[in-house]
Amino acid sequence: MDMKRVLAFKTLLVLTLSLATVSCKKSSSSKNSSRATGWQINNREGGFQYNTDFKEQETSPGLVFVEGGTFTKGKVQDDVMHDWNNTPNQQHVQSFYMDETEVTNMMYLEYLDWIKRVYPPTDENFRAIYLGALPDTLVWRNRLGYNEVMTENYLRHPGYAEYPVVGVSWIQAVEFANWRSDRVNEANLTEAGYIKRDAMITDVSAESNFNTDTYINAPTLTYGGNEEIINADGRGRRNVRVDADGNESNIYATLETGIISPKYRLPTETEWEYAALGLSEIRSYNLYRGRKKYPWDGQYTRADKRKIRGDQLANFKQGKGDYGGIAGWSDDGADITNKVKSYDPNDYGLYDMAGNVAEWVADVYRPIIDDEFNDFNYYRGNVYTKNALNDDGTVKIVTPEDIVYDTLSNGKIIARNLPGEILQVPVDENETYLRTNFDKSDEINFRDGDRRSSRRFDQSFGDDDESVDKKESETKDMYNSPRHSVTRDSLGNLIREYDKSNERTSLINDKVRVYKGGSWKDREYWLDPAQRRYFPQDMATDYIGFRCAMSRVGLKSKSKNKTKN
């Protein structure tokens, strides 16, 4: 009887395993079979190749995940400035990633080191690239104060390594984010076997380097077209396919592989404010309990936890002549900036979303948030471009001889593009004709500052005189800001012309960007995440730094459980 039971059990086990094997094969076959055509995907002989095993976006270095949602953007305090520039309005933000801390001096020095090695400033053709990336250390100087120790040491001394970088303009912050995107994707492709190992250190130069967009659009032109680098030895790991005629496929990674990460960038103002609030602290089921004044819960700047009760939760200016408190019994432990992670993070795991330094965000400043037109991923500052093409239809790659330099309003020189990048040109009628969602390349002034929604100071409201030069109807007229000029004479000398007009009424133009959050130099009022101020995009200070963000692709949530309504 026992033998019969054992035999029956063995038979049942064999049948179960057989069914499981058939089920797995069926599932695997189904996953690699097109629902459109029934053809096999990822066939070893070639054809359509796609990463059918992709689970979700991998968190890139330095970032933390912020699940998007709906929130009320805008002020909760009395508007003592009376500028009414952020009245409450409801917005929805898609999920994204944000830097855990502000970009530190050491992080920025790594960028400077790369620039110096690849574009050596000893070469006259590249000198302005490195100089244009350097932070302005003179921002620490004060005509009635002695701050030379910060001027000389803050950026490079190891004692300040983990302090937030300052003296960086909005333009420089954007360039850092672009550089970071390329270096992370270069490392991802090296790890996956698509790029020769250590090439990112041993083989880079002005003529031979990696750019993400170039690799996606024309991989054979990456690293100056060096096949030894871009067709590396890790062929097994990247599953190179060879058909019957000996033709190879899967040699280069594409977006379909899922290996290439979305780009680092500056967060939008709405993303920054949403992330700073850390709203999960006041969430009850599907509602928020009231509104928040700070990145932490509560109405005060001091901790109420028993262990650290009374400690300040951020560093900021306590009062006139008080940047840190009494020696030996300091209020916040810092008189200027402080080492990142010195204070508790908010509920998203983000540090220093109040205090330390204020932070650049991506948006062009306007006194209003036009939530009537858009309440989804709100952002003002879109300038749409496309890849420039050669006569044969290939993308146009910038060479060392093609570098274009811009002279900023303060006389500084920066590189508009770098070798290895794809030259960008404005979109034209081929992309905009009969579209309803955008109609030109530069949309910074949409519904604010263009002829359809503003007045000119020298004409009556609603005057549609078409003889007026189009350029004269842009924001510079609506906001009537100073018009400084920097040009060069025939010898290359700078000619600076300062606008001395007494008729200017505003500092707002298309070159000012929003910055958010209170800093070590600000009073408590500015710690509210809803506060917004602006500063010229090509200038820097000792109290504005930045952190990077990255868009989330795919699932809105990292949780595998179904969201409860």
Q: Give the model confidence (pLDDT) of 111-138 as tens digits.
A: 999 999 999 999 999 999 999 999 999 9
Instruction: Answer whether 216's CB lies under 8 Å from 189's CB.
Output: no
Q: What angle do CA 509, 511, 512 make, to 5 degrees?
A: 80
The model's pLDDT over 5-21, given as tens digits with 9 standing for 90+, comes to: 666 666 666 666 665 55
DSSP state of 222: G
Mean pLDDT of the chain: 86
DSSP state of 183: H
Question: What pLDDT, on the 0 to 100 scale, is given for residue 168?
Answer: 98
Question: Mean pLDDT across the stretch 451-467?
Answer: 47
Percent of the chain exceeding pLDDT 90 equals 57
Q: Give Cα separations from 314 to 43, 324, 544 (angstroms).
A: 57, 10, 16
The model's pLDDT over 507-536, given as tens digits with 9 standing for 90+, comes to: 889 999 999 999 999 998 899 999 999 999
The model's pLDDT over 359-382, given as tens digits with 9 standing for 90+, comes to: 999 999 999 888 889 999 999 999
Q: Left (φ > 0), alpha (ψ -120 to 50) or beta: where does 297 sit?
A: beta
Question: What pLDDT, on the 0 to 100 scale, is given for residue 546?
Answer: 98
In angstroms, the CA 334 to CA 239 distance is 54
Question: What pLDDT, on the 0 to 100 scale, is given for residue 11?
Answer: 66
Contacts of range 323-329, beta carbons closer than 8 Å, 24 or more positions apart: 323/520, 323/521
In angstroms, the CA 418 to CA 403 distance is 6
- Which amino acid is residue 562, in one-letter code? K
Question: What pLDDT, on the 0 to 100 scale, is given for residue 308?
Answer: 65
In angstroms, the CA 240 to CA 235 distance is 6
Rg (C-alpha) for the chain, rounded Å, is: 28
In the three-class reduction of DSSP (H, G, I as helix; E, B as strand; rest coil), residue 390 is classed as coil
In angstroms, the CA 503 to CA 473 distance is 18
Question: What pLDDT, on the 0 to 100 scale, is given for residue 12?
Answer: 67
Q: Which of 29-43, 54-68, 256-270 shows the lowest mean pLDDT across its residues?
A: 29-43
- Give the DSSP H or E segment for 550: strand 549-551
The model's pLDDT over 202-217, given as tens digits with 9 standing for 90+, comes to: 999 999 999 999 999 9
Q: Of 402, 379, 383, 350, which is closest to residue 514 (Cα–Cα)?
A: 379
Is the pLDDT at 67 greater than 90? The verdict is yes
Q: Give Cα separations from 186 to 1, 107, 243, 398, 565 (angstroms).
A: 67, 17, 28, 19, 41
In angstroms, the CA 528 to CA 301 distance is 11
Instruction: Answer whether 165's CB lies under 8 Å from 135's CB.
Output: yes
- Give the DSSP H or E segment for 175: helix 170-191
* Predicted confidence band of residue 243 (pLDDT cuts 50, 70, 90): low
Question: What pLDDT, on the 0 to 100 scale, is given for residue 463?
Answer: 42
Is the pLDDT at 540 greater than 80? The verdict is yes
Phi, psi of 264 (to 5 degrees): -70, 150
**End-to-end Cα, the chain, rounded Å:** 55
Q: For residue 96, what are the β-bridge partners?
A: 66, 551
Phi, psi of 549 (to 5 degrees): -135, 170
DSSP state of 279: G
Domains and CATH numbers, the chain: 63-444+510-551 (3.90.1580.10)
In angstroms, the CA 122 to CA 125 distance is 9
Question: What pLDDT, on the 0 to 100 scale, is given for residue 453?
Answer: 55
Is the pLDDT at 166 greater than 60? The verdict is yes
Is the pLDDT at 565 greater than 70? The verdict is no
* Predicted confidence band of residue 199 (pLDDT cuts 50, 70, 90): very high
Question: What pLDDT, on the 0 to 100 scale, is given for residue 318?
Answer: 86
* Predicted confidence band of residue 332 (pLDDT cuts 50, 70, 90): confident
| Residue 494 CB partners (closer than 8 Å, separation 6+) | 407, 411, 486, 487, 488
- Give the DSSP H or E segment for 544: strand 544-545
Is the pLDDT at 476 greater than 60? The verdict is no
Question: In angstroms, how far is CA 206 from the centroid of its own chain?
Answer: 24
Q: Of 520, 137, 138, 159, which is closest to residue 335 (Cα–Cα)?
A: 520
* Predicted confidence band of residue 352 (pLDDT cuts 50, 70, 90): very high
In the three-class reduction of DSSP (H, G, I as helix; E, B as strand; rest coil), residue 446 is classed as coil
Is the pLDDT at 469 greater than 50? The verdict is no
Instruction: Answer whether 371's CB lies under 8 Å from 89's CB.
Output: yes
Q: How many CB atoms lie within 10 A of CB 201?
A: 9
Is the pLDDT at 461 greater than 50? The verdict is no
Question: Mean pLDDT across the stretch 215-222?
Answer: 95
* Predicted confidence band of residue 175 (pLDDT cuts 50, 70, 90): very high
- Locate all alpha helices (DSSP H) within 262-379, ordered by sequence: 269-277
Is the pLDDT at 145 greater than 70? The verdict is yes
* Predicted confidence band of residue 77 (pLDDT cuts 50, 70, 90): confident
Phi, psi of 257 (to 5 degrees): -75, -20
Is the pLDDT at 416 greater than 60? The verdict is yes
| 137 token code pair | 């250390």
In angstroms, the CA 171 to CA 303 distance is 36
Instruction: Answer whether 411's CB lies under 8 Å from 486's CB.
Output: yes
